[in-house]
Chain A
Amino acid sequence: MTDRFMLSRRQLLKTSAAGAALGLASAAFPIGKAFAAATTVGFIYVGPKDDYGYNQAHAEGAAALKSIEGLTVVEEENVPETVDVQKTMESMINLDGASLIFPTSFGYFDPHMLAMCKKFPDVQFRHCGGMWDKAKHPMNAGSYFGYIGMGQYLNGVVAGHTSKTKKLGFVAAKPIPQVLLNINSFLLGARSVDPSITCQVIFTGEWSLAVKEAEATNALVDQGADVITSHVDSPKVVVETAAGRGAFVCGYHANQSPLAPEKYLTGAEWNWAKVYKMFVADLVAGTPLPNFTRGGLADGFVKMSPLGPAVGEPARKQFDATLAEMMKGGFAVIKGPLKSNKGAVVATAGQAFPEAAIELESMDYLVEGVVGSTA
């Protein structure tokens, strides 16, 4: 516990008096609670914790751990996906004594987190969304993610019922598999209502570019899209801009309905509290942490925002029915016969990829009906 008295940026910032008092107390009575002295969990976010989006969803999950007695949660926000994140991880381990670290952003995984895994073999690292591979990656690394594409499928169902122009819009950050799956799921959900619906996608190239996201939303509305959703770190700007132009919106990451109460249809949200509590329970019990954790709506990893006032009765019905189907587990969004928007066959007739199918995590195509390109 002497570590407590070394200079840590985070602790210095946090407080002085209260922190020091705590440190003294636990130094004097080092074995107050069996795991209290040893268990610190670190969370690293790429953006601000209250961004109405990706980081907020993770921070809400981390906040749910704070009530666990004896567990210390350390957090750092606005950490770039560069060597900076390695420094943050190192300081969390050396100065705060973290034994489990959650670097939550996609770009933290390779090479940054992997380098730290080699350097600190006794510390556990679990990364959100990264592809952990037993053959390639160390055993103290791992990844967790949720089948949020299911949520985007449900978004699509509601969007398909609500759209009058039969054109949907999607503001996406980067063409990585998770984003592509969300785009495809959104369109396929809408096409389950009306197979003539198309979805225009605009990639902004970065996770958080407020002005470009606003421009993209405007461009989509200009081209006639009347339901917009997004996969960027903070959908706040997209939601507000789309609603301001009179289009409907589906949310992502967290519940954005307070931003556009009339225009918000529903949204695909994370429920990370569930996942983080699972990991911490394993850590406390001393059982090895799983290296590869996945779950969907049925597992409570993902949830939907309450349906908004603009959602009509037929949409509500199909939404509920589809949700009930998904809650059974193993729902397949990608099922044959299905072609990519370049004409390549991605699923032959009878072939289906259920939510847990690992092939979905290396998706590199947009399905027929999506107007856009992956490069």
Chain B
Amino acid sequence: MDATEIGLWGVPLAILGGAIRVSTPFIFVSLGEAITERSGRINLGLEGTLVFGAMTAYAIAVMTGSPWLGLVAAAGAGLCFGLFHGWICKFPKVNDIAIGIALMLFGSGLAFFFGKPFIKPKAPNLPAIPFGGWSDVPQVQAALDVNVLFLIGAVLSVVLWWAFRNTRAGLIVRVVGDSSDAARAMGLNPNTVRLLATGVGGALAGIGGAYLSLYYPGSWTERISSGQGLMAVALVIFARWNPLGCFAAALLFGGAGALGPALQSVGVTQGYYLFYAAPYILTLIIMIATSSPTRSLAGAPGELSITK
């Protein structure tokens, strides 16, 4: 056996590498959605924002030659989508879920429309930090090429977790999310808070999109997302609206998603459809194990239209 073969070690390594590579869009979208939902709104449109962010980032990176400008543009585009959602939803009798679905289709459609000329050109990628330099094994080095955005996402989840408990802004978002009446009594305007929370959520989803098109898999195609934005929204509920939980759930999803290809690569080739279902089976098991008939979902913001 020569140095290029790592055999069965490929499986845990692929799960680790996959968790790092695949999870980043999940992290950003789910953190963004956590902020939005904590303020009492659901933005299902983040799938559209993710796709539009991916397109914007790629297009700007192609035109300017700078992936960082692309990243900023994607965040800006996401912010606009979020603010738009927040603005429409402040009107009475507007259903935030319906608007979200509309924005999801609108964002994807708009991205396909503007993205046509950018499918062919090649954009510069976001840089990765090689944490695997200590190892001589190229596979380990490849798995530990960590993109800056992953690290930012990790830090952000801790900061958000802390901020929701300990900062004025975090508490304002939470009180608005738990009871509009209480918030109004405190002199807060729930609509403004939700507008900003949805805007920030959109911006984070846009950054998640930039990661898809500018780092992994690193190209703009119309099929780039394959529903990751929607999965990330579901992850928020799975993570019980806790930013640290979002980060963990995203890692779990990324790692479980890498299981299928990794097992096939070491020769476990039977039943790969089952392995591909692993992330979803895992989700189901955890949801069932942690649910209870005697209490409502722990941590659910009281103003959410699904829990009201």
Contacts and interface: CB of A to CB of B under 8 A. Distances in A.
Given A218-B142, A222-B6, A237 B219 contact: yes
A224 B5 contact: yes
Interface residues of B, number: 46
B260 interface: yes
Nearest to A51: B221
A208 interface: yes
8 contacts: A47-B222, A212-B276, A215-B262, A222-B6, A222-B17, A234-B221, A371-B267, A375-B271
A245 B216 CA distance: 13
B112 A48 contact: yes
Interface stretch (B36-44, B74-82, B114-122, B233-241): B114-122
B11 to A, nearest CB: 9
B240 to A, nearest CB: 26
Nearest to B7: A223
A210 B226 contact: yes
Interface of B: 2, 4-7, 10, 13-14, 17-18, 21-22, 112, 116, 119-120, 122, 139, 142-143, 212, 216-219, 221-224, 226, 228, 257-258, 260-262, 264-267, 269-273, 276
B262 to A, nearest CB: 5
A203 B122 contact: no
A212 B265 contact: no
Nearest to A375: B270
Interface residues of A, number: 44
B14 A210 contact: no
A221 interface: yes
A201 B21 CA distance: 22
Nearest to A370: B269
A205 B273 CA distance: 7
Nearest to B216: A214
B208 to A, nearest CB: 12
B139 A222 contact: yes
A52 B4 CA distance: 30
Contacts of B112: 48, 78
Given A201-B264, A211-B22, A223-B5, 11 more contacts: A48-B222, A78-B112, A211-B216, A212-B260, A216-B261, A219-B258, A223-B7, A224-B5, A240-B218, A371-B267, A373-B272
A212 B260 CA distance: 9
Given A211-B257, A214-B217, A200 B276 contact: no
Contacts of B222: 47-48, 51, 78
Contacts of A237: 217-219, 221
A164 to B, nearest CB: 9
A79 interface: no
A215 B143 CA distance: 11
A165 B4 contact: yes
Nearest to B6: A222
A223 B221 contact: no
A44 interface: no
Among B116, B217, B273: residue with most chain A CB under 10 A: B217
Contact of A219 (B22, B216, B262, B270): B262
Given A48-B112, A211-B228, A222-B142, A165 B2 contact: yes
B223 A202 contact: no
Contacts of A216: 261, 264-265
Contacts of B221: 48, 51, 208, 210, 234, 236-237
A133 interface: no
Contacts of A200: 264-265, 267
Interface in A168-226: 200-206, 208-216, 218-224, 226
A259 interface: yes
Given A211-B257, A215-B258, A245 B142 contact: yes
B280 to A, nearest CB: 13
Contact of A259 (B4, B14, B122, B224): B122
Contacts of A210: 212, 217, 219, 221, 223-224, 226
B18 to A, nearest CB: 6
A221 B270 CA distance: 21
A224 B267 CA distance: 13
Contacts of A205: 260, 272-273, 276
A58 to B, nearest CB: 15
Given A51-B221, A222-B6, A259-B122, A212 B257 contact: yes
A234 B264 contact: no
A295 interface: no
B272 A221 contact: no
Interface in A347-375: 371-373, 375
Contacts of B122: 258-259
A50 B120 contact: yes
Among B14, B224, B264: residue with most chain A CB under 10 A: B264
A206 B223 CA distance: 11
A241 interface: yes
A258 B218 CA distance: 15
B173 to A, nearest CB: 31
B292 to A, nearest CB: 34
Contacts of B265: 200, 202, 216, 219-220, 222-223
A211 B228 CA distance: 10
A245 B4 CA distance: 13
Contacts of A221: 139, 142
Contacts of B212: 210-211
Among B2, B4, B6, B21: residue with most chain A CB under 10 A: B4
Closest 5 CB pairs of A and B: A373-B269, A219-B265, A214-B217, A216-B261, A224-B4
A212 B265 CA distance: 13
B249 to A, nearest CB: 17
Contacts of A48: 112, 116, 119, 221-223
A83 to B, nearest CB: 19
A219 B259 CA distance: 10
A52 B122 CA distance: 12
